[in-house]
Structure 1
Amino acid sequence: MTVPIFSLVIIGGLVSAGVYLLLERHLTRMLLGLLLISNAINLLILMAGGRSGNPPVRGRTSGENTTTADPLVQALILTAIVITMGVAAFVLALTYRSYRLNTIEEVSNDPEDTRVSQRSGSDVIDDFEGLPEPDSSIDTDLPDELDALPGHQGSR
């Protein structure tokens, strides 16, 4: 098997650029570095899969190919693409959250929190004076499941 040097140089360049971008302090550059490295790994998996060939369906041929293509390589690359997009979406969400937290310096107060914080302790006790007392005739000592058991009278 011949090794295509040009493809390996491209893969090496993508990995080195991705590592360089991952070492940056900005999340967007880190995301670009992750994407470059994942694309380089996809190309490496494709190169390791061997040459193209006939479709992996019995009885089908494509041109003058004598070997059958390996479908595992294509499935691995497709899975890697899906995982990469999930990671990219997560890093984009982190980037957006970091942007929102670091650029908006003034957080407005909630009006209800402000009203509650200005009240004194006696005002809170006054709010509970008008409420009815809890009903003491309800049997709360035993769970309701035990009252339904045969032969159990409960405390009624």
Structure 2
Amino acid sequence: MSLALAATVGVLFAFGTFLLLRDDLVKVVWGLAILSQAANVYLISMGGITEPTGDTVPVLAEYYAPFPETADPVVQALVLTAIVISFGMTAFALALSYRAYQENETIDVTEWPQ
């Protein structure tokens, strides 16, 4: 499973960087969004995801005596917060790019007046 997560993180970072280097402003915004999601997948993968076995239980397992291994909920809470913040950032950046389109009548950043 760690190889699949590493490949997913690598592909997301590569595609986000590819979009970030485009001339189209909307593609740049989507590149930033994909890079933030790649960082979230990276943080979740470093948070201790293991293969499910018969002796693992959720965090709310109050009635199990030996308390088997559980996932760290702090990492999940931080990533959930980062997802909400990146959604707001993407919406704000898309609104700014629409305003830039209204001002310059193009979304190609190489054609903007200096």
Equivalent residue, structure 2, for 1:32: 30
Cα separation, 2, equivalents of 1:13 and 1:19: 10
Asked if residue 48 in structure 1 is aligned to residue 50 in structure 2, the reply is no
TM-score normalised over the length of structure 1 = 0.57
Is this contact kept in 2: 1:54–1:60, CA < 8 A? Answer: no
Q: Does 1:87 align with 2:89?
A: yes
2:99 to 94, 97, 100: 97
RMSD: 2.2
Q: Give the total of aligned pairs.
A: 99
Identity within the alignment, %: 39
Kindly name which structure, 1 or 2, has the bigger radius of gyration based on alpha carbons. Answer: 1
Q: Secondary structure at the match of 2:57?
A: coil
Range with greater deviation from structure 2 (51-60 or 86-95):
51-60
| Post-superposition offset of 1:54 | 3.0
> Which of residues 3, 6, 14 in structure 2 aligns to 1:5?
3
Taking the aligned partners of 1:24 and 1:91, their CA distance within structure 2 comes to: 16
Measure the CA separation in 2 of the matches of 1:26 and 1:41: 23
Mind listing any 5+ residue stretches in structure 2 that lack a counterpart?
A: 51-55, 107-114
Question: When you count helix as a share of all residues, which structure comes out higher?
Answer: 2
